Each structure stands twice: as C-alpha cells, then as structure tokens.
Structure 1
Amino acid sequence: MPRNVCLWWSLLTLFVLPVAFSVGDDTSSEPPPNLVVIFVDDLGYGDLGCYGHPTIRTPHLDRMAQQGTRFTQFYVAANVCTPSRAGLLTGRYPIRSGMVEGMIPRRVLFPDDTIGLPAEEVTIAEVLKQRNYATKAIGKWHLGHLPEFLPTTQGFDSYFGVPYSNDMDHVRGNDERPAYWNVPLMRDSEIVERPADQNTLTKRYTLEAVEFVREHPENPFFLYLAHTMPHIPLFRSKEFTDISLRGLYGDVVEEIDWSVGQVLEALRESNCAQRTLVLFTSDNGPWLVQNEAGGSAGLLRGGKGSTWEGGMREPMIAWWPGHVPANRVSAELITSLDLLPTAAALANAPLPDRPLDGYNMLPLLEGKEDSPRDTFVYHRGAHSHAIRKGPWKAHFINQTSYPTKDPVHYDPPLLYHLEKDPSEKYNVAENHPEVVAELRQLFEQHVEEIARLPNPFAATKP
C-alpha cells in the first residue's frame, strides 16, 4: 500500500470511524422506560385492602403495593372528574386550562357542551411523543367529546372508551320500553357501540390494554387506562357478579383489581416489567351521597365534591421492579400535578414552556430523595378553598359533598395538623396563630395569582 494511502487510512481509523460507530451506539441504546397510569373513577381512600378495607378483596393491588410503594399522602388536582383529569394530564391546576366550574357551564363537562381541553394545553402524551413513545388512552376521557377535543388530538395515537361519565345520556323509560343509559363507546373518533354494554366495559378496557402492551415489547409506550368504574351506575361482568361481601360496589372494585393484575402480568410476559413505571390512583374521593353504591374515604373526612381530605386524598401505588423500592409505605406529599414533570424526567423529554404546578417526583419514587413539594392548594371550581403546607392545613371555604349546599366561609380559617389528625376533627387555630398567619399569606398570594388568569372560554357561548 502506498505511504500516502496508509497515512489517510490511519487518520480515517483514528477520527472518522469512531464517530460513525458512536452514532450507531446512540441509535442502539436502551429505549426510555414505559409509563402506565391506571386512573379509576370515584374510588375512596379506604376502598382497597392495602388501605384498610375489611371486606373488599384486592389481592393484585395489595401485591402491587408489596412489590412497590404505597403513598398515604397523595392528592389529586380536583374533587370531581373533569378538572381532576385536566390537572393530571397537564401538570397544571385545572383553573389554568379553564376546566373548572365558573369557566365551563357546570362542574364537569356534559354531552351538550361544545368545549373541551384547549388545544394549546400540553398533555403527558404530547410530552412523551417528543421521545417517540407509542401512546394510547383507554376508558373515560371527560375532557370534551367532540372530535377536536378527543384524546387523538391531545397526543394519543389511539383511543378506546367512553368520552364522559357513564351516568350521562340517560334515556327515560315508558310503558313500552325500560330506561337505559345511552352512553357511546368510541374507537378513536368513531362511535362503535351505542349504548355501550357497561357490564363488559372493565373487561374490554383490560383486554385492550393487554393487547397494547404486547404490541410494544421493545419500543417505549405510554398507556393511560382510565376506568369508567366505580362511578355510578355500577356494572360488572358476569364473572364478578355477587362475589364480594361488600355487594355490588365491592364486585366492581374487585374486577378493577383483576384488571390491574392482568396489566402487570402482561408487562411481565412481555419482559417489560423492569422498564415500566406503573401508577395506580383515582380521580377524586367517594360519592358519599350514593350510600351503598358509593365508596369509603376510610378515616378521612368528606368525599367527592369537597375539599376535606376525603375529597382529594387518594390511594396511590407506584410499581417498577428494580427501581421503586418494594414493600415501602411513604407519607411524603405528592400530587397528580406531579405526574407530567415526572414523566418528562422518566423519558428525558423537555418540559412544556408554560407555568407548571407539578414537580419531578422520580427521585422520590425511586427512594433516593424526599418530596420537593411542601405546599398544595385545594380548589373547588374556580375558587381556592384550602391550603396545606407541611403538616398544616387551613380551610378558608368549604362545601361538604357532591352535590352540595352553599359554601361556608371561615374567618379565622379552620386549622388542622394532618399528620396528627388526618380525620380533621380538631380545629387548633386558636393555639397556632403564627401558622394561621403564614398560611393566610400564602393562600391570599395564590388567590391573587389565580384571579389574574384569563378565561379560555370567555368568548364561547355555553
């Protein structure tokens, strides 16, 4: 070989080929972890075996908690369906997106509403699409049922489910036919069944979720499985009829427990478990006025529609073998607002360029750090009702349940030490005026900030 050719070959092997091989190494590196969020409807803090229910059997969720971490101070963004879902998916207090009473015609969206989650909002799915995640939404959406507001316009590749609550579209009966729920079941933007056979919804959602997991054994994916149940009316499949000591409500929860077991097993069988973070929680507390058809908040006060703890503190279980510590119970403060920043950190994806109200909780989930959050504001509709900092919670306004009577205003506010008194029985405001003053200042600052937010639907007629 001529000397000059040898020289060029030496330079090529020294500089060019290593660069080429390093590019190849980047493209063959491990994909980012998967994310599965299982979000049920109207489940109470006390409705699972691992959270103390004496007669509802939840062996799969109990095992998930044993293999992962169970959180005892996890909060959702709102105390009813639509705003809670907006907060989880955007990482922002739902008043920022307008998904609250006072900006939408009612407390939640109804089938005759023509608005939905604004297109400019950025969801977890859209954040993860930056890293080429496959994304799927299954179940209850409730952020707008018109084509321009469905999951497929908010970063999800596909959708299968009911676009709003299962008690909507009620058709009254007469002498010739019985009453029925005319709720549509959709695939992407098309109605595939109406009325949906609600007895089979939990099972069909589960089969759809398992199929999605099995379709993506190697590529990263985000699965948002938002169960319709146990929101009333309650339905369960034939296999789960009359199996629970708790009655119909227990049957429904036990079928959801089975569903969780099926999803986790599909992850194991697809060899995805070691690279999949699974989070299980609910959108708000139990619907107490439904009596036996509603759930239980356990030792917590209040339920759905209220800003007492029972309305917004929910079960939350995190599972990720080899990453989330097993058999751990955490009392760290964490919220559904934190899921979007956590998902972005999980995927090493950029955050949306807008104000966020959540924190990256990945180090907390992995047991490496404490929660970076020490404050949380409890909202009802467009109004701030209460604030928590550390163990202290101050109520400035409250309403008891859903539906509710007129709001009650407190001046001075009620003050509770939640770690000593999670049931909010003992108002200790008189004993801690300095705590009341600090929380009042933080609360008023938040109220002033919220008052400056524009209404995204100001020009929209209901």
Structure 2
Amino acid sequence: MPTDTADPPNVVVVFADDQGFGDIGCFGSPYIETPNLDGMATEGAKFTSFYAGAPICTPSRASLLTGSYPGRVGLEEWVLFPDDEEGLHPDEVTIPDVLDEAGYASTCLGKWHLGDCEPFLPTNHGFDEYFGVPYSNDMGAAHTDGEYRELPLMRDTDVVEAPVDQSTLTRRYTEEAVEFIEDNRDGPFFCYLAHTMPHVPLDASDEFDGTSRRGDYGDAIEEIDWSVGRILATLDRLGIDEETLVIYTSDNGPWLEEGVDGGSPGHLSGGKFSVAEGGPRVPAIARWPGTIPSGSVCSELLTAMDLLPTLAALAGVDLPADRTIDGADATDLLMRPGSADSPRERYVYQTGGGDFGAVRDADGWKLRLDTDELYHLHEDVEERFDVADDHPAVVDRLRETARSLAADLSEHARPVGRVD
C-alpha cells in the first residue's frame, strides 16, 4: 500500500557496472579509497545481503527498473548487442513511469543496455531525458555486417558524439546529474545515474588516472566515489539533503576473468555470470538524513527488484494492478534497517544464460539447483560446507520454491519488445 506522505522524497540511484562486493572501503577493500561512499554508510545504512536481479548487465537492469525477475520481462538470457531487434517492451512499467504519477521529473544518465533503438530507449520508458552510452563500453569495437562501430554518446534519441572519449564519461555524467538536480531542486525528482565504469575497458579522467593503489580499476572506482561526493555536496548546498534518498549499488559482481582489470567479491566466492554469492550479491548503501538511522548495518535479504515497489510506496502511488511485480515494499526495512525483517521470503538466482541456478530464503538457506548443495549463508557465506545431507526437508522446500516460481514465470511471463 502507498505510504501516506505529502512530500515524497527526491531519489538518486547510482548504479555501478561490474563493481564487486569487496570494492568499497566500508565493504572491506584494502586498496580502493572511497571516502564519499564510506561517508554515505556512516550517515545512512549499509546493506550486506543485497542482490542484483541477475549476475549480468541487461537482465540486471531490466529487473531493477521493472521490479521483476528478468524472466518475467523476457530479458533473462545474456545481454543485448548494438542493433538488436529486441529490448525492454514499451508496455513495461518502469520506476520513472510509476513516479511520474506523483509528479516526478526524471533523468537517465549513463549506461542503458535495454535496447539501443526506438522504441526501447530511456525516453520511451518513462524518463524525461537521457544522456549516456546505450550499451556496454566494450561494444564500440563490435562489427555489425562487417562494419566497424564507434561507441556512441546519446542525448535523448540522438547520437551526439562518436566515438566518445571514455575518460570523460564519469565526469560528464556527474555534471549532467548536478545540473538536473539544480534545475529540479523544488522536486520531486528521480535521477538514475548508471555509470559506464568500472566495466572494461577501464578509463578515468586525468585527475584520477594512475592515482589509486589498485591500478586502472581502482582509478575508475575512485572517480565514481568523487562523483558521489559531488552529488551529495550539491544536495547539501541546495538545502535538500533531508529531502533526498540516495542509493548506491552495482549491477552485478566483478568480472573475475579480466584479472587485474576485474574487481573483487571480497570474502564471497564467484563473480559475474555466477550464481555463487559473488555474482549477484553486491554492495548497497542508502542515505536519507533524518529518516534512515545513521551508521546502520542491515543483513536482511533485499534485492534490486524491491526498489520499484518501495519507491512507489514512498511516493504514495499504487503499483500497476495488471501485472505481477516480483519486488516487495521494503519501506520498513529502509526506515529501520537495524531491526525490521526482510519483506521477502525468497530470492532465485539466475545464471548468465537465464537458467535458475540456486534459490535462497530470508533465513539464509541456499540450495544450488545444479548440484543439490545446501549452504547456510548466515554461518557459511563463502559456501564452503555442504549440509544437504543434514537438512533434507530444507532441500525439498527450496527445490519446490524454485519449481513454483519457474511455473509462475512460465504462465505469467510478459513479452520481450521487438522491432516491428
């Protein structure tokens, strides 16, 4: 149900690309300096059991913006490529669509990756404006029908620069975010800032290039941290700090196969593409001065899918009644991160190829569906000790949970968008 609020908050969601669970100072990084993100956690809440909708780009972004499992919206398999004839269906209801009912202005900045042509672009999906790269930054060298493709920078539906200088992207996205916040200071507004970095190929501006102790990867993240600092300083300067919810997270875990150019899952196992914890479990921080208790740490189950219903509740608007939304309203958890329970009963992990690979419950029991291995994440987050033989009833219950959701998705899946 919508929250009874006369003044819905401004919302800023910062979405990193391929940043691992262990790649922020307050999440345990010994090499990457992130004073602004650490400050966000000190002034707000750190969520240590937060899951992306998938361990790979396109499905994860579809899940975040629609509040649904990727398989619910037909985008569960791998990623979209330039000129693909598929994308997020124009009839899908996204976060900006929902917030528009409460009078929100909205912008999408950075990586989109849900279709690079109309009718799939951000301005076709509820955003008032768009500035960014429509897909992954390693797709600039892709060959389409034998032709070399330059990586484009778009404004709304037009390419304004190609090839874009990737070393300028983090700074330019940040400048656009600051300008949008200034122009909409009277609110309410929704700023979705989906950074291109630290996806490979890595890049950073001259001010950050070569300055971190973690090579190019650290340079990219430390510039993103600077970007967060600029946004927080802008909110403070405009006097809207206490009126604005800022959320920081990542689309999936680190691309371990990239070696030194990939990130770290910290104490978790696995990374991008994987259903081990390091694949979909990502760092998450929320800050809302005066509303979210400072210095909170929450280990309750929470997912990116939960943002849409949570923001709808905070804005005082109803969810669409004509479709299944897999996310849950986590308002109580956001307001009381140290004491409230998870609004979710389950989370199903999908592989990079879209199959169900594991399932967990809010009590920390996780079943690997490919191996029938059972782990209790509250005691064994590294997934080292299989206890399936000791808990056959838990194995059966979780297997039935996955089967039930698979049947529901099969019956109630919505179509992927296709170019006519």
Aligned counterpart, 1:369: 340
Q: Are 1:83 and 2:59 matched, yes or no? A: yes
Per-residue CA deviation, residues 145-188 of structure 1 (Å, 9 max, x unaligned), is: 1021110011100000000000002069xxxxxxx972100000
Does the C-alpha gap of structure 1 residues 333 and 171 become closer, same or farther in structure 2, counting only changes over 3 Å?
A: closer
Uncovered stretches (5+) of structure 1, i.e. residues with no partner: 1-28, 102-106, 173-179, 398-409
Distance (Å, rounded) in 2 between the aligned partners of 1:455 and 1:352: 14
**Structure 1 segments of 4 or more deviating over 4 A?**
none
2:373 is matched with 414
Alignment TM-score, normalising by the size of structure 1: 0.86
Match of 1:118 among 73, 89, 95: 89
> Does 2:231 match 1:279?
no
1:227 paired residue among 195, 198, 214 = 195
Instruction: Structure 2: give runs of 5+ residues left out of the alignment.
Output: none
Instruction: Tell me which of the two structures has the higher relative contact order, counting C-alpha pairs closer than 8 angstroms and 6 or more residues apart.
Output: 2
Kept after mapping to 2: 8 A contact 1:376/1:388 = yes
Cα shift at 1:453: 4.2
Paired residue secondary structure (2:22): coil
Mapped pair 1:296 → 2:264: yes
Matches within 5 A, 1:345-384: 345-353=313-321, 354-367=323-336, 369-380=340-351, 381-384=353-356
1:17 is matched with none
Once the two structures are TM-superposed, the CA of residue 454 in structure 1 deviates from its matched residue by 4.9
1:186 aligned onto 2:154:
yes
What secondary structure, in the 3-state scheme, does the structure 2 residue paired with 1:342 have?
helix
Equivalent in 377, 383, 388 of residue 360 of structure 2: 388
Letter in 2 for 1:126: D
Classify the secondary structure of the residue corresponding to 2:305: helix
Q: Quote how far apart the aligned CAs of 1:432 are.
A: 1.1
1:331-375 deviation line (CA, Å, top 9, x unaligned): 111000100000101100111121111111111111173222131
SS of the residue aligned with 2:79?
coil
1:318 to 286, 296, 299: 286
Aligned pairs for 1:106-185 (under 5 A) are 107-170=78-141, 182-185=150-153
What is the identity, as a one-letter code, of the residue corresponding to 1:161?
G
Partner of 1:242: 210
The one-character-per-residue Cα deviations of 1:368-403 (angstroms, maximum 9, x if unpaired) are 732221311111244211110121000012xxxxxx
Residue 444, structure 1, aligned to residue 403, structure 2:
yes
* Maintained 8 Å contact 1:167/1:181: no
Distance (Å, rounded) in 1 between the aligned partners of 2:137 and 2:38? 27
Q: Report if aligned partners of 2:73, 2:416 keep a CA contact under 8 Å in 1.
A: no
User: What residue identity is the alignment partner of 1:69?
Assistant: A
What is the number of equivalent residue pairs in this alignment? 408
State the distance in 2 between where 1:347 and 1:146 align: 30
Per the TM alignment, residue 96 of structure 1 is displaced from its structure 2 partner at its CA by 1.0
**Partner SS for 2:106:** strand
